[in-house]
Amino acid sequence: MLTLATAILFLGPLIVVPLGLRLLKQANLISIETDYRSPATIIWGVAVLSLACSFSQPAGLVAALLAAPWFLATLLLALLGARYVLREVRDLDAQLALAAALMLVAVGGGWTLVSRAGLRPANFSTAIVLLTGVHFHYAGFALPVLTGWTVRHVQDQATPSPFWSSSFGGILRRGLVASVIGGVPLVGIGITFSPLLEVLASGLLTLAALLLAMMQIQVALNVSHALQRSLLLISSVSLICGMSLAITYALGTYLETEWLDIPTMIPLHGVANSIGFSLCGLLAWNLPETPSSVDTIKNLDESVVDDT
């Protein structure tokens, strides 16, 4: 049966992951061809169609077999990410965040497979198992991709911000990357073993999300493309709202006070993070690039100087 949770989950493989992979290709982490006739696109299509068919079956062996191709596809992405880290990454930089997205999405694929098999590790409810798969398609994939891509943009833009290019800005950028990469799996570990760890990891991830949102807002205010600016602003506000709900839920669980329950979190936190933050953010960065207003003025000034 199609529920909001399964719809959010399916949005990941169908749209969010392909949009993220386009950015990873531009960043030279992967060389997967995105043409509709390419082998990679065909494999992706088969995996997504098979995953869709798995949700038409009750949880069990058949559903798990149908979900297996998507898990194998994410496992391949994880291997590509691990190879890139071992060969290329030497610092807590944007490229590490982008590579981490490739590795963490396989956790989402794995938990999705576990959910479709009807298994309940650590005696979790079926809802928690499913939502863990959802979590790693967005917090585990989209969040590191948007973190890495935004940091890249801030570093590489023609007129870099004095703040972000300063030594303190560099510390914040590295802290953001480390917090996102470490915070996502720590939240999962905390849910399994320690409510206190879950609260601390959720707090760390919330601080990282606030920093990323601030960075995205600054970028949005400097782009001339109206649609891109709007999407980035929606993404930033959605991230702030979604993570505020996440830390509230984690604190409520730790204090054994049900401020928010799972049925409430799915339409609020789930939609904010999947559509508001992830989809809008990735769509914004996949739009054709246009120069910022500052860069346009700078180019006009240089043209005037050349003409004189």
Assign 116 a pLDDT band (cuts: 50, 70, 90): very high
Q: Residue 298 domain-assigned?
A: no
Q: Residue 140 domain-assigned?
A: yes
CA count, 13 A, side-chain hemisphere, 18: 18
What Å distances lie between residue 50 and 38, 65, 74, 136, 286, CA to CA? 18, 9, 14, 19, 26
**Full-model pTM:** 0.89
Instruction: Give the three-class secondary structure for 139.
Output: helix
Q: Residue 154 domain-assigned?
A: yes
297 pLDDT above the threshold of 80: no
Q: Residue 304 domain-assigned?
A: no
Provide the token pair at 87. 């060969």
**Mean pLDDT value across residues 187-195:** 79
> Which tens digit of pLDDT belongs to each residue from 89-109?
888 889 999 999 999 999 999
Supply the pLDDT for residue 38. 81
> Which of 295, 280, 291 is closest to 16 using CA atoms?
280
Q: Residue 302 domain-assigned?
A: no
Q: Residue 261 domain-assigned?
A: yes
305 pLDDT above the threshold of 50: no
Q: Residue 296 domain-assigned?
A: no
Residues 6+ apart with CB under 8 A from 6: 55, 130
Give the residue numbers spanning the domain of 132: 4-290
Q: How many domains does the chain have?
A: 1
Supply the pLDDT for residue 77. 95
> Which tens digit of pLDDT belongs to each residue from 21-66?
999 999 999 988 766 678 888 889 999 999 999 999 999 999 999 9
Query: What distance lies between CA 234 and its chain's CA centroid?
Result: 15
Q: Residue 181 domain-assigned?
A: yes
Distance between CA atoms of residues 129 and 115, nearest Å: 6
